[in-house]
Amino acid sequence: MDRVIKSDAEWRNILTAEQYYVLRERGTERPFTGKYWSLNDEGDYTCAGCGQVLFHSDAKFDAGCGWPSFYAAADEGSIETRDDFSFGMHRIEVICSRCGGHLGHLFP
């Protein structure tokens, strides 16, 4: 797997404003508003930044939080986790292993 490395200008050119906010600025869409939180179609969920397959639909579940939730990644190595100490708390951030795009956080 080749890493995807782009300049800020390149990311801004290929992503929508909302995609850029979430993937590159580590933002969060409002719960229960995204187009994927209640989607139940079969298939793969891919990174909007680089197209890497991240999750399969059969691993999706309703966590009641308003964001898409998965109990397993598509493949070992398709996602990475890292400590996030923003907002005065400790959380585990989930990122795309190919482009480093922010995907969300693990919830216990």
Taking only the tens place, the pLDDT of each residue in 71-92 is 999 999 999 999 999 999 999 9
Q: What is the CATH number of domain 8-106?
A: 2.170.150.20
Residue 108 is predicted with a pLDDT of: 75
Distances from the Cα of 85 to the Cαs of 8, 11, 64, 92, 105, in angstroms? 23, 25, 24, 9, 12
Would you call 108 helix, strand, or coil by DSSP?
coil
- Give the start-to-end residue ranges of the domains of the chain: 8-106
Q: Is 18 helix (H, G, I), strand (E, B) or coil?
A: helix
Mean pLDDT value across residues 58-79: 95
For residue 2 the two structure tokens come to 């080749």
